[in-house]
Amino acid sequence: DTAVSQTPKYLVTQMGNDKSIKCEQNLGHDTMYWYKQDSKKFLKIMFSYNNKELIINETVPNRFSPKSPDKAHLNLHINSLELGDSAVYFCASSRLLRGTNEKLFFGSGTQLSVL
Amino acid sequence: AQSVAQPEDQVNVAEGNPLTVKCTYSVSGNPYLFWYVQYPNRGLQFLLKYITGDNLVKGSYGFEAEFNKSQTSFHLKKPSALVSDSALYFCAVRETGNQGGKLIFGQGTELSVKP
């Protein structure tokens, strides 16, 4: 069973389109995250949700809107896609929000290519 | 603010030789340090963590890491490298306080193990 699953694995789209990436975890974790990995493999957090509540919102353009219908799901909707949005987006989860020794479980990533 | 640095973009090792992947950190307060590995087209996988206690931490796949407070380092090591260890390795530090839960990643080090 896949612990953190995200779909689609690949997403190719035109500039200006709106797209969504879905993420689900079956670990019973309270906290979920979205990370962005750029072409140089640098990983940066975008958002964090704890029990459907937004906790961390880094300086991400408001074209990016996370949605958490329940604590097992955290979807990422992106409006008006731009070339610079091309990256690999990773969903992750952890058991607790402020457990400093908690490890993160990552999905396998969604490679977004904006043409 | 917490940060980690990985001074080497790439490390090349011959199979059977010991390997070291370097990481230095900058934190205020106690450091909560992690190593993750990313295989091609996969999400990150947890390797090991340092929270407190012994300076030598043992993790998955025969990896270990040495915490050195005076040098603010947390280098990843393995006594005998395998070709299958070839991957991208990330050092990370956990934010504390209100941003608890956020992992700050280093820029990654590509490990290449040749037969």
Task: Identify the CATH number of the domain in which residue A24 sits.
Answer: 2.60.40.10
Q: How confident is the model at residue B97 (pLDDT cuts 50, 70, 90)?
A: low
Note the CATH number of domain B3-114. 2.60.40.10
Measured between beta carbons, the chain B residues lying within 8 angstroms of A100 are 32, 51, 94, 96, 100
Give the residue from chain A lying closest to B35, CA to CA.
Answer: A103
Say if CB B30 and CB B52 are below 8 A apart. Answer: yes
pLDDT in tens, B41-63: 888 999 999 988 889 999 999 99
Is B101 within 8 Å of A102 when comparing Cβ atoms?
yes
Compute CA distances B34 → A90, B50, B92, whole Å: 18, 6, 5
The answer to which of A12-21, A105-114, B37-46 has the lowest mean pLDDT is B37-46
pLDDT score at B96: 65
The A-side interface with B (CB below 8 A) comprises 4, 31, 33, 40-45, 48, 50, 55-56, 90, 92, 94, 96-109
The answer to which of A70-79, A94-103, B31-40, B84-93 has the lowest mean pLDDT is A94-103
Is B41 within 8 Å of A108 when comparing Cβ atoms?
yes
pLDDT score at B101: 60
Q: Mean pLDDT across the stretch A33-37?
A: 94
CA B50 from chain center: how many Å?
Answer: 10
How deeply is B9 buried, as exposed, middle or buried, from its count of CB atoms within 10 A (0-12, 13-18, 19+)?
Answer: exposed
Residue-wise DSSP of B49-92: EE-SS-SEEE-GGG-EEEEETTTTEEEEEESS--GGG-EEEEEE
Does the CB of B39 have a partner CB in chain A at under 8 Å?
A: no
Selection from A68, A77, A70, A82 nearest residue A20 by Cα: A77
Compute CA distances B17 → A48, B7, B39, whole Å: 40, 21, 20
Selection from A89, A49, A37 nearest residue B102 by Cα: A49
Q: How confident is the model at residue B100 (pLDDT cuts 50, 70, 90)?
A: low
CA torsion sign for A23, A66, A64, A32 is negative
Whole-number percent of chain B with pLDDT over 90: 75
DSSP A16: T
pLDDT score at A54: 86
Is B46 within 8 Å of A103 when comparing Cβ atoms?
yes
pLDDT score at B65: 97
Q: Considering only the beta carbons, identify the residue of B32, B41, B104 that sits closest to A101.
A: B32
Does the CB of B32 have a partner CB in chain A at under 8 Å?
A: yes
Give the residue from chain B lying closest to A105, CA to CA.
Answer: B45
Compute CA distances A70 → A11, A16, A32, A57, A75, whole Å: 24, 29, 11, 18, 10
Q: How many domains does chain A have?
A: 1
Does the CB of B12 have a partner CB in chain A at under 8 Å?
A: no
pLDDT score at B108: 96
Structural domain harbouring A93:
4-114
